[in-house]
Chains A and B, each alone.
Chain A
Amino acid sequence: MAFVELQNLRKAFGSTVVVHDFQLAINQGEFVSLLGPSGCGKTTVLRMVAGFESPTSGQIHIGNANVTDKHPSRRNVGMVFQSYALFPNLTVADNIAFGMKVAKKPAAEIKARVEEMLNIIKLPQLEARYPYQLSGGQQQRVALARAISVKPQVLLLDEPLSALDAKIRISLREEIRSLQRALGITTIFVTHDQEEALQMSDRIVVMNEGKADQIGTPFEIYNRPQTRFVASFVGTLNQFSATKTDATTYALDGQSLRVNQPSAAVNGSEVTLALRPETVSLVADPSRTNQLSAKIDEVSFLGSVVRIRAKFGNNSVSFDTFNSPSRPPPRRGSVVTLHFCPDDILVLN
């Protein structure tokens, strides 16, 4: 049995169902992200795990115990909030010690643990400060220390990086992940930022309209999206309407493409093909099967990267190439041949 199991979770607010039969099994020490747009139900799932919302139906198991009806204070889960939620009247040290004081741990143990936590979050000199005297990044580190100081079975992170500026966000991503690995703590992370989810997670649950559209590793989610929603939500995607001619061949604006991904569509039917920008190449490679003739429509020089949009028939494709001083980007209006591998083309359901 998995360490955390969410079985057929359903949550309705009045007549509105926000989570539909949600199933998820998380192994001990795993870092799982719930990724999706606003209103997809990801935070509701997290809040049900924390105990702040009661499921309309379904069960939640943590460490072989059914905690579905347990009060949040008895679940032994640590929670980090988007708004930090540090207690304004307490110092950094007292915030970190709060959970241990509630648990009536000995004073010496609390002091040692607080020191350990302050060192882990690299803020040992700020123990006497109040939350309003800290930056956003520092506050979130303290919130993280407070959550893990009580040694919870599961760590829940509710968009903890959303309120921070880009630079701090990136550095905190790495810190949270390395801390999670070091402590081996089972973690559920809610985010709407695909880059965060891809970088930090062992597995990602892509949610849409209260359901898990796809569960998989970042590699699987990005490279093998199973639904049109996952394909369009995670990463940038070029989409084309094509006609299936046989099991591995599709006609696209009078040009023929070979696609290795099997599709249940019948021959002659319309399907949507998708292509990641990074799979398209301008470099002539005779070994590649698929070659499309296209006209350069737009070239944007971004420094290390050149963003190009090319048109063929009624379709257009956007792709990035690395800048190379020895190989200038194509001119607008020029006709080029685009190359891509049959394995890289996705057939969307």
Chain B
Amino acid sequence: MLFGAIYFFVPLIATFEFSLRLKRGEYSFEAYRIVLTDPHFQASFLYSTALALATIVVGILLIVPTAYWVQLKLPRLRPVVEFITLMPLVIPAIVVVFGYLRMYGSASWLPLTDTPNGTNLLLTFGYVTLAMPYMYRAVDTGLRAIDVRTLTEAAESLGANWATILLTVIFPNIRSAILSGAFLTFAIVIGEFTLASLLDRPAFGPYLQLIGANRAYEPAALATIAFVVTWACMGLMQIFGADRRASNSC
């Protein structure tokens, strides 16, 4: 365990220490100041944040009803659906993006890449695909923790339709699972490089790469900021997960 902790923390500490050395002979947050006041940083971070939120919304709308339906009506299809949701882990992002460019490029029947908004939409769908393994597992775990079938039948016998059941019974009872999936999605999207770069979008990942290629200390500061954002997401997952467990244990 000690070896693992050293293996994990030493590079992080070294990166952080390096990021403070911009001024010679003293430690300072000058690299952070430069990065945080850079308009490109703000624009790219804001862009990636907006795309992450859009990805979360699309992901929830796609995955929660699917996982719910599979659990309720098609439990035998669960292995097939699980396999499909794992595909983004085994197919490299670069393969996915070339596939997209071929299918939705200028010469295709649906040329999404012809306009910035179309490309943003394509990038969002790409992110939904990349985040699918994590979002699906989080939601599926949440659904397994509640008696989906009986709760659905109870709501049906009280006159509720599918939309009402999903909104008032299922979503609130897997809220913490959805939030876990959402934070994971956020963490993935905020640092994603391949899709954004090859679709030529001004996202945070390509900005990180650009700074890394041209500066010395600022990339270390950016890497530290990216770690903090990711850890904040993980921390929030833990908080919401712990809240759920506390509720259940009462």
On A, residues with C-beta under 8 Å from B are: 50-52, 71-79, 81, 83, 85-89, 98-99, 102-103, 132-133, 143, 146-147, 150, 156
Contacts and interface: CB of A to CB of B under 8 A. Distances in A.
Given A83-B147, A132-B248, A50 B153 contact: yes
Contacts of A85: 147, 150-151, 153-154
A87 B156 contact: no
Contact of B156 (A73, A103, A143): A73
A78 B247 contact: no
Interface stretch (B58-66, B107-115, B119-127, B157-165): B157-165
A88 B172 CA distance: 9
A143 B169 CA distance: 15
Nearest to B164: A102
Given A81-B150, A85-B147, A87-B169, A73 B247 contact: no
B146 interface: yes
The 6 closest A-B pairs by CB, nearest first: A99-B158, A85-B154, A89-B172, A79-B157, A72-B156, A85-B150
B94 to A, nearest CB: 42
Given A83-B147, A85-B151, A88-B173, A103 B157 contact: no
B229 interface: no
A132 B154 CA distance: 17
A102 B159 contact: yes
A177 to B, nearest CB: 21
B158 A98 contact: yes
B157 A87 contact: no
A87 B164 contact: no
Nearest to B248: A132
User: Chain B interface residue count: which class?
Assistant: 20 to 34
B250 interface: yes
Contacts of B96: none
Contact of A87 (B154, B161, B248, B250): B154
Interface in B229-250: 247-248, 250
B159 A132 contact: no
B155 interface: yes
A83 B250 CA distance: 17
A125 to B, nearest CB: 18
Given A83-B147, A88-B146, A132-B247, A72 B157 contact: yes
A79 B159 contact: no
Interface of B: 146-147, 150-151, 153-161, 164, 168-169, 172-173, 175, 247-248, 250
Contact of A73 (B150, B157, B173): B157
Nearest to A98: B158
A99 B173 contact: no
23 contacts: A51-B156, A52-B153, A52-B156, A73-B156, A73-B159, A78-B157, A79-B153, A79-B154, A81-B153, A85-B147, A85-B154, A87-B173, A88-B173, A98-B158, A99-B158, A99-B160, A102-B159, A103-B159, A132-B250, A133-B250, A143-B154, A146-B154, A156-B157
A103 B155 CA distance: 12
Which of A88, A103, A132 has most chain B Cβ within 10 Å? A88
A95 to B, nearest CB: 9
B160 A102 contact: yes
Contacts of B157: 50, 72-73, 75, 77-79, 147, 156
Contacts of B160: 73, 98-99, 102
Nearest to B146: A88
A78 B164 CA distance: 18
A42 B25 CA distance: 83
Contacts of A147: 157-158
Query: Which of A71, A73, A147: most chain B Cβ within 10 A?
Result: A73
Nearest to B161: A73
Nearest to B153: A52
Contacts of B150: 81, 83, 85
B228 to A, nearest CB: 32
A52 B156 CA distance: 9
B250 A98 contact: no
Contacts of A81: 150, 153-154
Contacts of A146: 154, 158
B147 to A, nearest CB: 6
B156 A71 contact: yes
Nearest to B145: A88
Given A52-B153, A85-B150, A132-B247, A150 B172 contact: no
B166 to A, nearest CB: 13
A85 B173 CA distance: 13
Looking at B153, B154, B172, which has the most chain A CB atoms within 10 Å of its CB?
B154
Contacts of B146: 88
B2 to A, nearest CB: 40
Nearest to B169: A87
A156 B156 CA distance: 13
A132 B151 CA distance: 15
A76 B250 CA distance: 34
Nearest to A75: B157
A233 to B, nearest CB: 27
Given A79-B153, A132-B247, A99 B172 contact: no
